[in-house]
Amino acid sequence: MNKLYCRAFQKSFYLVSKVMPYRQPERIEGANCLDLLPARIKKDGLETVLLVTDPGLVSFGYIQPFVEKCEAADLRVVVYDQTVPNPTITNIEEAKALYDGHQCQGIIAFGGGSPMDCAKGVAALVAKPGKTIPQLKGVMKIRKEMPPFYAIPTTAGTGSEATVAAVVTNSETHEKYALMDPVLIPHVAVLDPMLTVKLPPFVTATTGMDALTHAVEAYIGKSNTKETIEASRKAVKIIFNDLYEAYTNPTNVEARANMQEASYLAGFAFTRAFVGNVHAIAHTLGGFYQVPHGLANAVLLPYVLDFYGETVYESLAELADLVHLTEGSQSNKQKAEAFIAAIRQMNEQMAIPTKLEGIVNRDIPEMVKRALKEANPLYPVPKIMNASEMHYIYQMVKAD
């Protein structure tokens, strides 16, 4: 795609986005704040809600006690617990059938990005009766208020509790794509760090690197606002301080709470300033091979930043200064390289590999096509990739 056209598109979108109805969720936060949610939902006048989650969260024992608390508050909860990682259109349709069958009036999303996005998919279908998920793909296709939506993130993470996006997978075509509309920003976000203390270390690591990728891709992009810059910087700072601590010391509630904050802030940042090529490529790997989203991002991030070269020296040097990786006398190039090296080091310390298993050469041309289609013209990346450059990134991350 013509690069000038991409830049013109991004510039117009940036101007339009200034008047778009972004909102921030009401936040309920702090250890055990989940207990406050049933009464909060009752305040909205609801009697029956759909709760969307996944089998892991049920087996870890998070769901049943919460459902009981809702019932004690006279709130009926219908549970859909079959969401898979990289949630599918089938998941959304099954959950929507429950929503309709029980005449639900609102939605609770309880889990990582997968249940949250599945729940947002249901909300989109409720807002647009008669439409299918593929028809709502892309930007601003919903434009109708969704039912009351309460997001309870249990990873830190995707930031979906703060974002315009629902990322879904078509399991027949292996396409993974986003629905993006400000109406998909949840009404209430419950940030309870106690829900993340049992996250396995590797999931802590990879989901934390997803949050870092959001913050970095938003920061180096060309569509920042004062608020997104501030949010990205805060998120990067927290992640450098607290992710490794949460990884090595899972029950450190303060580190967990900080990571939830970072995830939320990074989600807030990219919802206006967008992600970039790391995400476009990661989505294809999720769609084709179910590579966990955070893992794909963590592995890709340093390679893509290397590729951007001098276009990101200044912005990455600022981030390197922010997290005290550098000294004043160093050049921006040296500082940017130090920042990328620190990302590689974080990955290594948390046992995240440098390459991804399972990528098949014959799939790469189709993945390149899809990733380019996702990234261009929408994502205001520092350097627009062409097909051969993107091909090179797939080769770089592919394990032998």
Ligand X SMILES: NC(=O)c1ccc[n+]([C@@H]2O[C@H](COP(=O)([O-])OP(=O)(O)OC[C@H]3O[C@@H](n4cnc5c(N)ncnc54)[C@H](O)[C@@H]3O)[C@@H](O)[C@H]2O)c1
Which residue lies nearer to ligand X by CB, 199 or 304? 199
CA distances from 46 to 22, 40, 41, 43 (A): 24, 10, 6, 8
Which residues of this protein are in contact with ligand X, per CB under 6 A? Answer: 54, 56-57, 60, 85-86, 111-114, 117, 154-155, 157-160, 163, 165-167, 195-196, 198-199, 203, 207, 210, 267, 286, 293-294
Which of 181, 34, 211, 40 lies closest to 110, judged by CA? 34
Which residue lies nearer to Fe ion by CB, 220 or 317? 220
Q: Tell me the closest approach of the beta carbon of residue 77 to Fe ion, in angstroms.
A: 28
Which residue lies nearer to ligand X by CB, 113 or 382? 113
Structure tokens at 245: 């601590």
Considering only residues 193 to 212 of the shown chain, the ones binding Fe ion according to CB under 5 A are 210
Q: Tell me the closest approach of the beta carbon of residue 297 to Fe ion, in angstroms.
A: 6
Q: Which partner in ligand X, Fe ion, none is near 196 (CB below 5 to 8 A by kind)?
A: ligand X
- Strand, coil or helix: 195: helix
* Phi, psi angle pair for 116, to nearest 5°: -65, -40
Which residue lies nearer to ligand X by CB, 70 or 184? 184
CA 141/CA 268 separation, integer angstroms: 20
What would the x/- binding string for Fe ion be over residues 314 to 343, using CB under 5 A?
------------------------------
Q: Tell me the closest approach of the beta carbon of residue 278 to ligand X, in angstroms.
A: 11
Considering only residues 210 to 249 of the shown chain, the ones binding Fe ion according to CB under 5 A are 210
Q: What does the radius of gyration of the chain's CA atoms come to, in whole angstroms?
A: 20
CA 286/CA 194 separation, integer angstroms: 28
Which of 10, 210, 233, 42 lies closest to 116, judged by CA? 210
Strand partners, 107: 50, 149
Residue 162 DSSP class: G
Q: Which partner in Fe ion, ligand X, none is near 54 (CB below 5 to 8 A by kind)?
A: ligand X
Q: Can you give the binding site for Fe ion, defined by CB under 5 A? A: 210
